């Protein structure tokens, strides 16, 4: 019997690397996608119990996601689980942040995720088997002043994931949106939010990944890890959007 294979984007650090460890521990072969080829090689050499294929690609570049799919196809690898984890954020006023960086964020957070889901979902439907985990965020549930584009991309990821899950009802394929709050990864440093109020009670990447992994395997539609995050999402759902935006702006500020 062939072993199952998981493809993980953003696999070299943070949540992505935690997912690598979880899948490897359960005996999954791995296809790991990230920009850092040296780090990919280090990870490959550290997991001897499973087959690891590495693909060094910058998914924020248009066309890169298609190239990942084509390489997987050329190597004859069947993807049983797709983990769309790669993404980044930026903090600052929309009109003052570099527009090219914001467009790259949109391409990575939504464009590449959409393409990979599109290509690999078609293959999963041929076999009527597969699971997809899209890493969204608690940011998906409200507008986010000072991180406007990031919050908008995560709202897209959540909406897409929920819609696909409904489209796939009656099949053996599931789509799970993982919506963590602040998490101790390099995201905070890249987004320049490490000193913000939102990161004052950040969860560990290991805990978030373990809970997200369980949600994926249980076929949950949406999963928010952590009691405080669940409460925050619930509050955002019932709060007027204008007020939710004010709260989001407040927590994005420095401590």
- Tens digits of residue pLDDT in 174-223: 999 999 998 888 765 665 566 656 566 789 999 999 999 999 999 999 99
**Residue 251: which pLDDT band, with cuts at 50, 70 and 90?**
confident
Q: How many CA atoms, within 13 angstroms, populate the side-chain half-sphere of residue 44? A: 16
Q: What is the C-alpha to C-alpha distance for residues 16 and 147, in angstroms, rounded to an integer?
A: 22
Task: Please tell me the predicted confidence (pLDDT) of residue 216.
Answer: 98
Q: Tokens at residue 253, please? A: 């500020």
Tokens of 172: 């053996």
Structure tokens, 155: 């709202």
User: Whole-angstrom Cα distance, residue 237 to residue 231?
Assistant: 10
Q: Which residues contact 115 (CB under 8 A, 6 or more apart)?
A: 65, 66, 69
Tally of CB atoms within 10 A around 42: 12
Helix (H) or strand (E) run with residue 70 in it: helix 64-74
* Residue 169 pLDDT grade (very low, low, confident, very high; cuts 50, 70, 90): very high
Q: What is the dihedral of CA 40, 177, 186, 213, to 10 degrees?
A: -60
118 is catalytic: no
Which of the residues 28, 150, 156, 213 is marked catalytic? 150
Cβ atoms < 10 Å from Cβ of 251: 17
Q: Which residues of 139-171 are buried (b: 16+ CB within 10 A; e: fewer)?
A: bbbbbbbbbbbbbbbbbbbbebbbebbeebeee
The residue among 183, 172, 175, 136 whose CA lies nearest residue 156 is 136
Whole-angstrom distance, CA of residue 143 vs CA of residue 163? 20
pLDDT in tens, 14-51: 999 999 999 999 999 999 999 999 999 999 999 989 99
Task: State phi, psi for 219 to the nearest 5 degrees.
Answer: 70, 30
Q: What is the C-alpha to C-alpha distance for residues 246 and 32, in angstroms, rounded to an integer?
A: 38
Residue spans of the domains in the chain: they are 5-252
Domain 5-252 has CATH 3.40.50.720: yes
* pLDDT tens digits for range 124-166: 999 999 999 999 999 999 999 999 999 999 999 999 999 999 9
* Rounded Cα distance, 108 and 114, in Å: 9
3-state class of 7 per DSSP? strand
Return d(Cα 14, Cα 142) in angstroms, integer: 24
Integer distance in angstroms from the first to the last C-alpha of the chain? 54
Give the span between the Cα atoms of 236 and 179, in whole angstroms.
13
87-125 tens-digit pLDDT: 999 999 999 999 999 999 999 999 999 999 999 999 999
Tell me the torsion sign for CA atoms 172, 177, 183, 188: positive
Q: Is the pTM higher than 0.85? A: yes
**111 vs 3: CA distance, rounded Å:** 29
């Amino acid at each position: 019997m062939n072993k199952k294979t998981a493809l993980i984007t953003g696999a070299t650090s943070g949540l992505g690397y935690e997912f690598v460890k979880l899948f490897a521990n359960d005996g999954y072969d791995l296809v790991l996608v990230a920009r850092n080829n040296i780090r990919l090689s280090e990870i490959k050499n550290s997991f001897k119990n499973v087959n690891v294929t590495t693909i060094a690609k910058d998914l924020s570049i248009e066309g890169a996601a298609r190239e990942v799919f084509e390489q997987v196809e050329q190597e004859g690898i069947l993807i049983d689980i797709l983990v769309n984890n790669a993404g980044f954020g930026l903090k600052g006023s929309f009109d003052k942040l570099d527009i090219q960086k914001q467009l790259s964020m949109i391409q990575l957070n939504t464009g590449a995720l959409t393409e990979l889901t599109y290509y690999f979902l078609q293959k999963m439907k041929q076999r009527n088997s597969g699971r997809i985990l899209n890493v969204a965020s608690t940011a998906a549930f409200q507008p986010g002043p000072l991180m406007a584009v990031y919050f908008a991309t995560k709202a897209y990821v959540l909406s897409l994931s929920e819609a696909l899950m409904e489209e796939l009802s009656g099949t053996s394929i599931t789509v799970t949106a993982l919506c963590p709050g602040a998490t101790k990864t390099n995201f905070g440093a890249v987004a320049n939010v490490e000193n913000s109020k939102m990161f004052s009670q950040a969860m560990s990447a290991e805990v978030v990944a373990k809970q997200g992994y369980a949600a994926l395997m249980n076929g949950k539609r949406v999963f928010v890890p952590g009691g405080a995050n669940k409460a925050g999402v619930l509050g955002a759902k019932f709060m007027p959007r204008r007020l939710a935006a004010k709260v989001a702006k407040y927590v994005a500020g420095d401590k």
